[in-house]
Amino acid sequence: MLREIKINAPLYEALVQHYHKNPRSFHVPGHRFGGGLQPPWNDYYRDILKLDVTELADTDNLHQAEGVIQEAQQLAADCFKADETYFLVGGSTSGNVAMILAVCNPGDMIIVQRNVHKSVLNGIILAGARAVFLTPQEDEKSGLSTVPSLQDVEDALERHPEVKAVFMSTPNYYGMAVDVASYAELAHRYECALLVDEAHGAHFGFHPAFPASALHAGADAVVQSTHKTLTAMTMGAMLHVKGDRLRKDALRQALAMVQSSSPSYPLMASIDIARAMVDTYGEQLFDGGLNAAEHFKNVMDQKAPAFRYLGEQAADSSLPWRLDPLRAVVWDGTGTLSGYELLKELERQGCWAEMADSKRVVLLFGISASYEDVEALAAVFAEIGKQHGLDTKNQINETRLSVFDQYRYDRISAPVILSRVIPDERSIETVPLYLAANRQSAELVIPYPPGIPVLYQGELITDGIIAVLTNLAEHGAVCQGIADSSLTSLRVYKKG
């Protein structure tokens, strides 16, 4: 019975009901239920614009929710086991920024892993916070980075008792998810909030095959992209809060600062629907996608044996993580095709991947990939293998370029004040990399691979960082968006 009550989507239904009243609109938006849009441009918009309204007595107000939006958010909080859930119309971007604004007053300190989404850095900049960056751990086999070690977080907390929050990102883009329970416990022991960017894990916790969600593990606030792995429209996301380590007034203020004052109703209703789908179907919602993902690997083993993919980790690993089974990370085991080339080849044959790095492509199956989809995908891989003669080539030994571990540089940065001020040419100079020690970097340095920032604008350059960058440059890593992409020189602030 409970389930039957829960399958309501109160916000969506309120929009439908409002439309069915045949209301005459003398308000924004200007298209007036789509009537203003002339053919042929209304082809795809005709239906959705019937729900594209504004704050009315029937439709509540996201920034002061007291009606159907509050109801929808409450149902989401129940579903995701949060104390409070906020719908986000600006994507996980807006949630990440808002979490940091809510916790950090200007000058406050926050611990952050280096491998975070840009929105986290933007949040730190806008908050005027000081960041202590922690180097993430690398998975031994794949070389992919997850989260910093518990020991490094504790050392950083010991070194900086004034820290307000620890910020983690998990799962990473490859679907590797770390259990944050011990991190939550640690943060709370030091009277800090644990904030988690779980953008890629909106489905976590809803099926035994999935990792647990960060909120269940004890995080204080968690951002999830409802559009990425559930069914919301793009930009639809949620912020879940548990406990009272985040001030609610500060959080509400922050959310109002970073989101539109005219939030999109079709977008918000699609978040409501995404939650209703989970409540209605439960585990079954994911069975189809899970079976397809499993089937994909079986077919690949048979038909495209040259390709390898990221598998679950050995149980005895020193760095435990679990794999999101609804995505596949695939690469050419012969080392012939780069990830970028693979992505292009897939596209050429009608299969569009989520992303590529220098080695791998990442593929999402989501909840609706079918057997037919994954068989077609595997057939394309097989075709690519044939075209490039991969099946007759030898598999290469997997060597991994260890980015951070082989040099004993401090995995805990000095506190950095990130600034959005674009450096004045007169205040900076270019120095050879080997002479950059103890200077303040004027650029953000993100070598590819591995795509993790080694140096932030404003960060003090240490000998350890120079060693890491030298190593990366020698192995052919490239940095886009900086003056010297070969990494033989750096732009630093002039002294004094």
Residues within window 178-197 making contact with its own copies, judged by CB under 8 A: none
Is residue 49 within 8 Å of 33, Cβ to Cβ?
A: yes
Q: How many other β-carbons are positioned within 10 Å of the β-carbon of residue 149?
A: 17
Residues within window 394-423 making contact with its own copies, judged by CB under 8 A: 420-422
260 in contact with its own copies (CB under 8 A):
yes
50 in contact with its own copies (CB under 8 A):
yes
Q: How far is the CB of 37 from its own copies (least distance, A)?
A: 5
441 in contact with its own copies (CB under 8 A):
no
Among residues 156, 230, 416, 455, the one that binds its own copies under rule CB under 8 A? 230
Q: How far is the CB of 340 from its own copies (least distance, A)?
A: 11
- Peptide bond preceding 39 in cis form (omega within 30 of 0): no
Is residue 330 within 8 Å of 303, Cβ to Cβ?
A: no
Is residue 202 within 8 Å of 229, Cβ to Cβ?
A: yes
Question: Residue 135 or residue 259: which is nearer to its own copies going by CB?
Answer: 259
354 in contact with its own copies (CB under 8 A):
yes
Q: CA angle 1-222-327, nearest 5°? A: 80
244, with CB counted inside 10 A (0-12, 13-18, 19+), is: exposed
Q: What are phi and psi of 230, to 5 degrees?
A: -105, -155
Among residues 1, 5, 20, 26, the one that binds its own copies under rule CB under 8 A? 26
Is residue 378 within 8 Å of 324, Cβ to Cβ?
A: no
Among residues 116, 125, 180, 194, the one that binds its own copies under rule CB under 8 A? 125
367 in contact with its own copies (CB under 8 A):
yes
Question: Residue 26 or residue 392: which is nearer to its own copies going by CB?
Answer: 26
379 in contact with its own copies (CB under 8 A):
no
Q: How far is the CB of 374 from its own copies (least distance, A)?
A: 9
Question: Residue 366 or residue 450: which is nearer to its own copies going by CB?
Answer: 366
276 in contact with its own copies (CB under 8 A):
yes
Q: How many amino acids of this chain bind its own copies (CB under 8 A)?
A: 106
Residues within window 4-23 making contact with its own copies, judged by CB under 8 A: 9, 12, 16, 21-23
282 in contact with its own copies (CB under 8 A):
no
Q: How far is the CB of 316 from its own copies (least distance, A)?
A: 32
Among residues 52, 345, 357, 459, the one that binds its own copies under rule CB under 8 A? 52
Is residue 87 within 8 Å of 238, Cβ to Cβ?
A: yes
Is residue 299 within 8 Å of 332, Cβ to Cβ?
A: no
Q: What tokens were used for 85?
A: 């859930």
Q: Where are the beta strands (DSSP E) in 165-287?
A: 165-169, 176-177, 193-197, 221-224, 237-241
117 in contact with its own copies (CB under 8 A):
yes
Among residues 225, 334, 413, 457, the one that binds its own copies under rule CB under 8 A? 225
371 in contact with its own copies (CB under 8 A):
no
Q: How far is the CB of 69 from its own copies (least distance, A)?
A: 14
From 28, 106, 92, select the one nearest 255 (Cα to Cα): 92
Among residues 6, 8, 31, 467, the one that binds its own copies under rule CB under 8 A? 31
Q: How far is the CB of 187 from its own copies (least distance, A)?
A: 22
- Output DSSP code: residue 29: S
Among residues 256, 319, 437, 467, the one that binds its own copies under rule CB under 8 A? 256
Question: Residue 126 or residue 472: which is nearer to its own copies going by CB?
Answer: 126
d(CA 40, CA 32): 17
d(CA 158, CA 155): 5
299 in contact with its own copies (CB under 8 A):
no
d(CA 485, CA 443): 12
- Peptide bond preceding 450 in cis form (omega within 30 of 0): yes
Q: How many other β-carbons are positioned within 10 Å of the β-carbon of residue 3?
A: 10
